[in-house]
Amino acid sequence: MQGGTVGQRPVPPNVRRGTGARPKIEPRRETPRWGVSTVYASLPLSLPRLTLAPGKDRPLRSGYPWVFAGQIARVDGSPKTGDVVALADAHGEPLGLGFFHETSLVAFRLLTRDIAATIDAAFFRRRLERALALRQRYFGLDASHYRLAYAEADGLPGTIIDRYGDVLTVSTHSAGMDARQGWMVDALVDLVQPRAVVERNDGALRKKDGLEERAGLLYGLYDGPIRFDEHGVTYEVDVLGGLKTGFFLDQRLNRWEVRKWASGQRVLDVFCADGGFGLHAAAGGAAAVHFLDSSQAALDRARANASASGLDGVPMTFERADAVVRLGQMAKEGQRHDLVVLDPPAFARSKKHRDTALRAYQRINISGMQLLEDGGLLATASCSGAITPQDFRDVVAYSAHRAGVRLTLLHEAGHAPDHPVLEAMPETRYLKFLLFRVER
Tell me whether residue 371 is exposed, middle or buried, using C-beta atoms within 10 angstroms of its C-beta: 0 to 12, 13 to 18, 19 or more: buried
* Annotated active-site residue in 149, 348, 383, 431: 383
Q: How far is the C-alpha of 302 from the C-alpha of 305, rounded, in Å? A: 5
Q: How far is the C-alpha of 122 from the C-alpha of 250, rounded, in Å? A: 29
Cα distances (Å, whole numbers) of residue 182 to 151, 187, 338: 17, 9, 50
Question: Residue 226, SS3?
Answer: strand
**176 near 206, Cβ under 8 Å?**
no
Tell me whether residue 106 is exposed, middle or buried, using C-beta atoms within 10 angstroms of its C-beta: 0 to 12, 13 to 18, 19 or more: middle
* Four-point Cα dihedral 300, 301, 303, 309, nearest 10: 160
* Four-point Cα dihedral 262, 268, 271, 276, nearest 10: 30
Q: Where are the alpha helices (DSSP H) in 174-241?
A: 175-179, 181-192
**383 near 430, Cβ under 8 Å?**
yes
Q: How far is the C-alpha of 132 from the C-alpha of 140, rounded, in Å? A: 11
Q: How far is the C-alpha of 185 from the C-alpha of 191, rounded, in Å? A: 10
Please, which residues have CB within 8 angstroms of residue 332's CB and are 6 or more apart in sequence? none
Tell me whether residue 327 is exposed, middle or buried, using C-beta atoms within 10 angstroms of its C-beta: 0 to 12, 13 to 18, 19 or more: buried
H-helix or E-strand containing 63? none
**106 near 147, Cβ under 8 Å?**
no
What φ, ψ does residue 410 adopt, rounded to 5°? -105, -30
The C-alpha angle 87, 90, 92, rounded to 5 degrees, equals 60
Which residues partner with 84 through β-bridges?
Answer: 99
Identify whether 383 is a catalytic site residue: yes
Helical packing angle, 121-139 and 181-192, nearest 10°: 40
Q: How far is the C-alpha of 300 from the C-alpha of 308, rounded, in Å? A: 12
Question: Residue 186 carries which side chain, given as an amino acid letter?
Answer: D
Catalytic residues: 383
